[in-house]
Amino acid sequence: MNLESTITWHLFLRELESVNHRFELMEVRDNWLLLHSQTTDQKYELRENHALYLTCQNKGGYMPLLDNIKNHEYSFTKLDSQRVLIKATRKDGKKASAIVKFYPPK
């Protein structure tokens, strides 16, 4: 990955693990995550439409987290109650993967 792709990938991961959100994992599907923010007590969906983005289930809106990914070329794999393997292919063909650890349920 070039430097910009590497930086945006790590910012994406950092946002998901941020203490500002304290996301806990609710549900995992191959192309969708349901997260609960312990700081706002809201449920958020992580999904894709030309970018991976968060949307609040009850209040709408969206926050793009990772752009320049190939449509439908990403996946989420649940490893345990707190960890998810995320894989994505960027538009330049480079692949990235990482394990994200979410907060434990309160």
Query: At residue 2, does pLDDT exceed 80?
Result: no
Lay out the sheet containing 23-29: strands in order across: 23-29, 32-37, 42-48, 51-56, 60-67
Query: Mean pLDDT in the chain?
Result: 93
What is the C-alpha to C-alpha distance for residues 93 and 5, in angstroms, rounded to an integer?
Answer: 11
**Could you tell me what percent of the chain has a pLDDT over 90?**
75
Against a cut of 0.85, is the pTM above it? yes
Across the range 19-34, mean pLDDT stands at 95
DSSP 94: -
pLDDT tens, position by position, 71-92? 899 999 999 999 999 999 998 8
